[in-house]
């Protein structure tokens, strides 16, 4: 068994994560062209001058979900203060297109980050409106397919929590990794005839085939080959 | 050029919209707090935009964390240079320190000042070298860092050309170009976008030669394009998705073209993408006529517009980030998460709501009280009230984990006050209060002048017990536990009792009160002989424990204890309460014995067995569970005493306090008297006791 190429205990090393990430991103690019590609965000390790291996995370950002419903956010009345003056002062300009009401776009960012304590990948995500306001979890749940919501309710492995993003130091949502090792083991047992080994290059693909469903990102079957 | 007869249509531009990433406000808050203070001078910032990449959604000018001057702390390599979707645009931020000064800002002057900068750059030729200055923007803001809310307003200054630009024609680029041209233009655009050197240059020239070969050049190279080329277009990254309008950047672009080259008609190319590649169906090509009005000279700065509308209104935007920035909320969600993880991973049937809503009353805020409070917080209990009469003494902080040296200074802070302060510091979401009060005790006679205040204390204690769900008896004397035991039995509240010897400890839960039990018996129709209620602290002095402990009066030595005892006993007391709260029968749960039950989870209680009493010794490193039923002649919880208390109230209490033999007479016991006689021998004098002065009278 070559530990650099295969995973037998459901867990990844940092180096394995880096290898698996690139393999995943490459496959995604080929088979999932309706989505933008995942990009590898390298990290600068300022404490250790010698960068041992390339550390970083995978990022897929600004995935747009359109909702036809214009959600009414309660207006902040205090915002109307002292605005009349502007009306009079600003030049009336007929070359400004008056925008028509459009679909409200929700944006989603996804990061796949390596968890050193669980030794598995973790999916971090967030949603926000076009102006940048973060979306609450209950709004996000309306955006993801209903099967995802039921998956969240039923599955012991996939629950969403809000925690600080390890590199951005701001709260993001994440799928908690505490069951990952176990179901990865199950996956590798069922998919492999030769024991419970899984090639590292397929690790992230298999992993994402499960967690992606929770957030409504399905991957084509060809990616698993 | 063609189509001169077409009536002039005014070219309308789709306004640019702003998007401010949460990370920008986070970074800005740190900058403001750590560096700027009240300095409100304008800050140079960088906005980012890219060509539209979605058929239904326009791109925004975005502020990100890295929009602010460089932060050395950042772990993530700066990706702003050469990123295809993050073309940098210079901007300026005016942040005010008050909402009033935000409202008072002269928006027209600010806009004009930025427009003037753009105009200067056009005149000086800087705009040709670095065309991103054409999209220069400004933001005014007021950051309320106490509430984590931000009010802000963007302006994208644009010149109002007079007469307005008229549109001669506008069509998808795929219709304008021949198919060979389109292919070549797409390829050239993709090359431009793929090169790190050019990908973030949003204004460029597209020239198509007579043999349909397209090339893309920088604006400053216009002269080189004016040769035998058949077509010359002014291209730009268009953030707008609309099929019949160009986006905002074209406005100042046309102003530049008019001013620099004095062209009357120009072809422009609104470059748009899909999936990261040039999309000539979405991209537009238009022909516009830009003429100088007769009286105008190129040197006059045109008027400018550009304040962003908020849902069609001229009002600022606001955003609240309390959920992601308020440290208290973050602490709450982190603590909740920890408990949820415990449930998910180990105890699926754990009821966390019961824990977070239970109200605990801690009688005594000494070594035991501090440990109990800390462990309660660990279980997610939010509501804790302390009752204590003592002050924090110099010897306390090393053993009493809620206090610090500062609490001892002066005459010392009341423990009930210091403990509350400490809990809030540990976890700001705690709902906690402290009551400085002595607990009336039998065998400590009082004068008639004191009667009113003692009875007031009794009433207050009774009300406190009524208004809480669980009571911890953590005082340092035996007799101070009598009245609370009685009141808990009367109100049928969960009572958890912990007491320390020198190297041994006892932790127990009291059974239900006698009256409530008889009510339940009627309701539940349970055979009386099968269910006996559990004893209280005072029952057990009468009813011999099933396993005899030699150190029956261990609590009487508690002022000198091994320091490890209080954390052990305090923790056990809380675990016992949690067991009761998670048990379906609650206070009526029968006492389990560790030797009889399985150690693993059982169906009734996910936490395992629920004993009545736990006694342990650190000299032997041993611990046993015990079971003792309620005694009919108990001085605190028997039906006789409770009904006497209900009938006679204050006079009953006074009699018990003043006449040690009264309770004995009432219940026919001598036990309390014996114990009371030993108080003076075993307990240190109240005045000199600096360790566990929880209750005195």
pLDDT digits (tens, 9 = 90+) for B186-201: 999 999 999 988 999 9
By CA distance, what is B60's nearest residue in A? A130
> Is the domain of B50 the same as that of B152?
yes
- Best probe of the B interface among A39, A89, A131, A136, by most B CBs < 10 A, is A131
CA distance A54 to chain B (A): 12
Task: Identify the domain containing residue B46 by its residue range.
Answer: 9-158
CA distance A93 to chain B (A): 7
In a domain, B14, yes or no: yes
Average pLDDT (B107-133) is: 94
In a domain, B529, yes or no: no
> Is the domain of B240 the same as that of B277?
yes
Range in B100-109, B411-420, B448-457 with the lowest mean pLDDT: B448-457
Q: Domain boundary residue among B158, B189, B206?
A: B158
* Omega of the bond leading into B163 within 30 degrees of 0 (cis): yes
pLDDT in tens, A161-182: 888 898 888 889 988 887 788 7
Half-sphere exposure of B542 (CA within 13 A, CB side): 23
Give the per-residue pLDDT at B72. Answer: 53
> Is the domain of B96 the same as that of B126?
yes
Average pLDDT (A190-207) is: 73
Residue B684 in this model has a pLDDT that exceeds 50: no
Bigger pLDDT: B424 vs B530: B424
Q: Does A33 touch chain B (CB under 8 A)?
A: yes
When pLDDT is cut at 50, 70 and 90, the band that residue B549 belongs to is very low
Beta bridge pairs of residue B496: B472, B509
Residue B379 in this model has a pLDDT that exceeds 70: yes
Q: Which two tokens stand for residue B178?
A: 């021949």
When pLDDT is cut at 50, 70 and 90, the band that residue B553 belongs to is very low
Give the per-residue pLDDT at B373. Answer: 97
CA distance B259 to chain A (A): 19
Subunit contact A86:B314, Cβ cutoff 8 A: yes
Residue B556 in this model has a pLDDT that exceeds 80: no
CB B467 within 8 A of CB B488: no
Give the per-residue pLDDT at B139. Answer: 97
What whole-number distance in Å separates Cα of residue B427 and Cα of residue B168? Answer: 67
When pLDDT is cut at 50, 70 and 90, the band that residue A101 belongs to is low
Secondary structure string (H, E, C) spanning B274-334: ECCEECCCCCEEEEEECCCCCCCCCCCCCCEEEECCECCECCCEEEECHHHHCHHHHHHHH
What whole-number distance in Å separates Cα of residue B531 and Cα of residue B610? Answer: 16
What whole-number distance in Å separates Cα of residue B498 and Cα of residue B496? Answer: 7
Bigger pLDDT: B321 vs A92: B321
What whole-number distance in Å separates Cα of residue B642 and Cα of residue B546? Answer: 26
What whole-number distance in Å separates Cα of residue A214 and Cα of residue A108? Answer: 14
Subunit contact A86:B107, Cβ cutoff 8 A: yes
What would the DSSP string read from start to end of A17-74? HHHHHHHHHHHHHHH-TTSPPPEEEEB--SS-SS--S--EEEEEEEEEEEESS---PP
Q: Which two tokens stand for residue B295?
A: 């009286």
Average per-residue pLDDT in chain A? 77
Which CATH number is B413's domain given?
Answer: 3.40.50.720
Residue B2 in this model has a pLDDT that exceeds 80: no
Crossing angle (nearest 10°) for helices B565-582 and B367-378:
40
| Percentage above 70 pLDDT, chain B | 84
What whole-number distance in Å separates Cα of residue B216 and Cα of residue B205? Answer: 5
Average pLDDT (B386-413) is: 93
Bigger pLDDT: A89 vs B26: B26
Q: Does B19 touch chain A (CB under 8 A)?
A: yes
> Is the domain of B578 the same as that of B625?
yes
Bigger pLDDT: A54 vs B256: B256
pLDDT in tens, B409-419: 988 999 999 99
Torsional class of B670: left (φ above 0), alpha (ψ -120 to 50), beta (otherwise): alpha
In a domain, B82, yes or no: yes
Give the per-residue pLDDT at A188. Answer: 73
Would strands B214-217 and B203-208 be described as parallel, antiparallel, or unpaired? Answer: antiparallel
Task: Report CA-CA distances (Å) from A77 to A71, A130, B196, B315, B318.
Answer: 18, 21, 46, 10, 11
Residue B581 in this model has a pLDDT that exceeds 90: yes
What whole-number distance in Å separates Cα of residue B528 and Cα of residue B524? Answer: 10
Average pLDDT (B566-590) is: 93
SS3 A121: strand
> Is the domain of B376 the same as that of B439?
yes
Q: Does B322 touch chain A (CB under 8 A)?
A: no
When pLDDT is cut at 50, 70 and 90, the band that residue B547 belongs to is very low
> Is the domain of B125 the same as that of B151?
yes
Residue B140 in this model has a pLDDT that exceeds 90: yes
By CA distance, what is A134's nearest residue in B? B22
Tell how far CA A132 is from the center of its chain. 17
Subunit contact A133:B104, Cβ cutoff 8 A: no
In a domain, B319, yes or no: no
Q: Does A64 touch chain B (CB under 8 A)?
A: yes
Q: What radius of gyration, in Å, describes the C-alpha atoms of chain B?
A: 40
> Is the domain of B434 the same as that of B491?
yes
Give the per-residue pLDDT at B296. Answer: 57
**Closest by CA position to A67, among listed A108, A36, A116:** A108
What whole-number distance in Å separates Cα of residue B381 and Cα of residue B378? Answer: 7
By CA distance, what is B102's nearest residue in A? A82
Range in A89-93, A193-197, B51-55, B162-166 with the lowest mean pLDDT: A193-197
Tell how far CA B544 is from the center of its chain. 51
What whole-number distance in Å separates Cα of residue B512 and Cα of residue A182? Answer: 44
> Is the domain of B558 the same as that of B447?
yes
Average pLDDT (B600-624) is: 81
What whole-number distance in Å separates Cα of residue B439 and Cα of residue B556? Answer: 18
Residue A11 in this model has a pLDDT that exceeds 60: yes
Average pLDDT (A191-198) is: 60
Residue A157 in this model has a pLDDT that exceeds 70: no
> Is the domain of B25 the same as that of B47?
yes
Look at the block and give the residue holding tokens 């238009």. B286
Would strands B137-144 and B149-159 be described as parallel, antiparallel, or unpaired? Answer: antiparallel
Give the per-residue pLDDT at A4. Answer: 56
pLDDT in tens, A117-133: 888 999 999 999 989 99
Please tell me which of A14-18, B175-179, B665-669 the model is most confident about, judged by mean pLDDT: B175-179
> Is the domain of B112 the same as that of B178?
no
What whole-number distance in Å separates Cα of residue B356 and Cα of residue B371? Answer: 18
Crossing angle (nearest 10°) for helices B650-658 and B660-667:
110
Subunit contact B165:A95, Cβ cutoff 8 A: yes
Average pLDDT (B234-241) is: 95
Residue A222 in this model has a pLDDT that exceeds 80: no
Q: Which two tokens stand for residue B311?
A: 């849902």
| Percentage above 90 pLDDT, chain A | 16
Give the per-residue pLDDT at B601. Answer: 47
> What domains sit in chain A, N to C, each tagged with a CATH number?
4-43+51-63+101-219 (3.30.1460.50)
Give the per-residue pLDDT at B695. Answer: 33
| Torsion B524-B525-B531-B537 (CA) sign | positive
Helices (H) and strands (E) in chain B, counts: 22, 25
When pLDDT is cut at 50, 70 and 90, the band that residue B305 belongs to is very high
> H or E element: which one contains B123?
helix B107-124
Q: Domain boundary residue among B115, B137, B158?
A: B158
Range in A45-59, B154-168, B361-375 with the lowest mean pLDDT: A45-59
Give the per-residue pLDDT at B233. Answer: 93
Catalytic positions of A, written as ranges: 178
For chain B, how many structural domains are there in total?
3
Subunit contact A87:B321, Cβ cutoff 8 A: no
> Is the domain of B181 the same as that of B142?
no
In a domain, B671, yes or no: no
Subunit contact B337:A83, Cβ cutoff 8 A: no
Give the per-residue pLDDT at B97. Answer: 93
**Closest by CA position to B153, among listed B167, B142, B164:** B142
CB burial readout B287-305, b (16+ within 10 A) else e: bbbbeeeeeeeeeeebbbb
In a domain, B341, yes or no: no
Give the per-residue pLDDT at B231. Answer: 86
User: Rounded to the nearest 5 degrees, what angle is found at the Cα of B538, between the Cα atoms of B534 and B540?
Assistant: 60
Range in A187-191, B96-100, B258-262, B364-368 with the lowest mean pLDDT: A187-191
What whole-number distance in Å separates Cα of residue B543 and Cα of residue A63? Answer: 71
What whole-number distance in Å separates Cα of residue B586 and Cα of residue B596? Answer: 20
Q: pTM, whole model, 2 decimals?
A: 0.75
Average pLDDT (B404-431) is: 95
Which CATH number is B180's domain given?
Answer: 3.40.140.100
In a domain, B68, yes or no: yes
Give the per-residue pLDDT at B83. Answer: 77
In a domain, B619, yes or no: yes
Average pLDDT (B137-142) is: 96
Give the per-residue pLDDT at B558. Answer: 41
Beta bridge pairs of residue A52: none
Tallying the residues shown for chain B, one arrives at: 697
Range in A42-46, B238-242, B445-449 with the lowest mean pLDDT: A42-46
Look at the block and give the residue holding tokens 């001078």. B41
Which CATH number is B30's domain given?
Answer: 3.40.140.70
Range in B167-171, B412-416, B564-568, B635-639 with the lowest mean pLDDT: B635-639
CB B137 within 8 A of CB B91: yes
Q: Which two tokens stand for residue A90?
A: 């600003």
DSSP state letter for A91:
P
Q: Alpha-carbon dihedral of residues B26, B31, B36, B39, nearest 10 degrees? A: -40
Bigger pLDDT: B548 vs A75: A75
Average pLDDT (A85-98) is: 66
Q: Domain boundary residue among B158, B183, B208?
A: B158
Bigger pLDDT: A137 vs B80: A137
Please tell me which of A101-110, B543-552, B664-673 the model is most confident about, judged by mean pLDDT: A101-110
Average pLDDT (B546-572) is: 65
> Is the domain of B226 the same as that of B150?
no
Residue B552 in this model has a pLDDT that exceeds 80: no
When pLDDT is cut at 50, 70 and 90, the band that residue A156 belongs to is low
When pLDDT is cut at 50, 70 and 90, the band that residue B7 belongs to is low
Q: Does B70 touch chain A (CB under 8 A)?
A: no
Subunit contact A170:B20, Cβ cutoff 8 A: no
CA distance B352 to chain A (A): 16
3-state helix, strand, coil in chain A (%, to 5): 35, 25, 40
């Amino acid at each position: 068994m070559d530990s650099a190429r295969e995973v037998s205990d459901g867990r990844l090393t940092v180096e394995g994560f880096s290898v698996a990430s690139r393999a995943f991103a490459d496959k995604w690019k080929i088979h999932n062209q309706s989505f933008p590609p995942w990009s590898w965000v390298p990290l600068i390790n300022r404490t250790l001058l010698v960068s041992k291996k390339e550390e970083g995370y995978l990022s897929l950002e600004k995935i747009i979900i359109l909702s036809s419903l214009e959600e009414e956010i309660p207006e902040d009345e205090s915002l109307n203060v002292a605005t009349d003056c502007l009306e009079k002062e600003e030049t009336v300009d007929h070359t400004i297109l008056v925008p028509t009401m459009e679909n409200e776009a929700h944006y989603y960012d996804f990061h796949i980050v390596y968890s050193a304590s669980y030794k598995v990948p973790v999916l971090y995500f967030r949603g926000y409106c076009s102006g940048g306001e973060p979306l609450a979890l209950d709004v996000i749940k309306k955006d993801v397919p209903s099967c995802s919501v039921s998956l969240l309710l039923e599955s012991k492995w996939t629950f969403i929590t809000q925690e600080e993003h390890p590199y951005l130091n701001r709260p993001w949502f994440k799928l908690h990794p505490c069951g990952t090792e176990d179901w990865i083991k199950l996956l590798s047992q069922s998919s492999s005839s030769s024991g419970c080994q899984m090639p590292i290059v397929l690790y992230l693909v298999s992993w994402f085939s499960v967690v992606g469903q929770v957030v409504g990102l399905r991957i084509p079957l060809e990616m698993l080959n | 050029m063609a189509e001169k007869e077409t009536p002039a249509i005014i070219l309308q531009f789709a306004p640019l919209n702003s998007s401010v990433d949460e990370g920008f406000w986070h970074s800005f808050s740190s900058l403001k707090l750590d560096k700027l203070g009240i300095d409100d001078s304008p800050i140079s910032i960088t906005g980012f935009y890219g060509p539209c990449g979605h058929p239904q959604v326009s791109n925004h000018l975005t502020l990100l964390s890295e929009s602010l001057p460089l932060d050395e702390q950042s772990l993530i390599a700066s990706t702003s240079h050469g990123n295809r979707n993050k073309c940098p645009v210079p901007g300026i931020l005016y942040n005010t320190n008050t909402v009033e000064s935000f409202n008072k800002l002269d928006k027209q002057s600010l806009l004009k000042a930025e427009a003037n900068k753009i105009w200067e750059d056009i005149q000086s030729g800087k705009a040709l070298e670095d065309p991103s200055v054409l999209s220069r923007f400004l933001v005014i803001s007021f950051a309320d860092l106490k509430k984590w809310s931000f009010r802000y307003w963007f302006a994208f200054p644009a010149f109002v050309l007079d007469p307005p630009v008229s549109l001669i024609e506008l069509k998808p680029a795929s219709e304008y170009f021949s198919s060979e041209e389109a292919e070549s233009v797409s390829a050239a655009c993709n090359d431009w976008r793929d090169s790190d050197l050019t990908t973030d240059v949003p204004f460029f020239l597209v020239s198509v030669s007579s043999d349909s070969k397209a090339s893309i050049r920088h604006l400053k190279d216009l002269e080189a394009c004016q040769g035998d080329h058949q077509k010359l277009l002014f291209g730009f990254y268009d953030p707008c998705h609309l099929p019949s309008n160009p986006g905002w950047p074209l406005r100042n672009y046309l102003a530049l073209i008019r001013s620099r080259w004095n062209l009357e008609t120009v072809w422009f190319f609104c470059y748009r993408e899909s999936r990261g590649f040039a999309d000539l169906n979405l991209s537009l090509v238009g022909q516009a006529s830009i003429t100088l009005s007769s009286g105008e000279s190129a040197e006059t700065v045109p008027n400018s517009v550009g304040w962003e509308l908020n849902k069609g209104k001229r009002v600022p935007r606001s955003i609240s980030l309390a959920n992601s920035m308020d440290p208290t909320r973050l602490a709450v969600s982190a603590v909740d998460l920890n408990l949820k993880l415990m449930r998910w991973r180990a105890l699926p049937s754990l009821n966390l709501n019961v824990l977070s809503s239970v109200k605990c009353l801690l009688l005594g805020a000494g070594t035991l009280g501090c440990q109990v409070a800390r462990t309660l917080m660990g279980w997610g209990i939010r509501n804790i009230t302390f009752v204590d009469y003592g002050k924090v003494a110099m010897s306390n902080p090393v053993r009493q984990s809620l206090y610090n040296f500062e609490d001892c200074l002066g005459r010392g802070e009341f423990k009930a006050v210091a403990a509350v302060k400490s809990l809030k510091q540990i976890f700001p979401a705690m709902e906690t209060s402290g009551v400085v009060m002595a607990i009336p005790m039998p065998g400590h006679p009082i004068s008639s002048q004191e009667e009113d205040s003692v009875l007031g204390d009794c009433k207050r204690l009774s009300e406190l017990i009524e208004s809480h769900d669980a009571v911890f008896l953590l005082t340092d004397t035996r007799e101070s536990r009598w009245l609370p035991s009685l009141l808990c039995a009367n109100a049928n509240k969960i009572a958890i009792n912990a007491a320390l010897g020198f190297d041994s400890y006892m932790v127990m839960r009291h059974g239900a009160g006698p009256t409530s039990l008889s009510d339940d018996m009627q309701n539940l129709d349970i055979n009386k002989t099968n269910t006996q209620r559990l004893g209280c602290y005072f029952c057990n002095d009468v009813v011999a424990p099933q396993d005899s402990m030699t150190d029956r009066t261990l609590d009487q030595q508690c002022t000198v204890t091994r320091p490890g005892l209080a954390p052990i006993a305090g923790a056990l007391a809380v675990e016992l309460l949690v067991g009761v709260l998670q048990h379906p029968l609650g206070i009526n749960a029968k006492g389990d014995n560790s030797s009889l039950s399985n150690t693993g989870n059982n169906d009734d209680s996910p936490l395992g067995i629920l004993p009545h009493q736990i006694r342990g010794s650190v000299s032997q490193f041993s611990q046993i569970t015990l079971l003792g039923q309620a005694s009919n002649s108990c001085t605190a919880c028997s039906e006789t005493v409770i009904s006497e208390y209900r009938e006679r109230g204050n006079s009953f209490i006074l009699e018990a306090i003043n006449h040690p033999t009264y309770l004995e007479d009432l219940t026919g016991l001598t036990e309390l008297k014996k114990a009371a006689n030993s108080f003076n021998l075993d307990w240190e004098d109240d005045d000199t006791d600096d360790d566990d002065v929880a209750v005195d009278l």
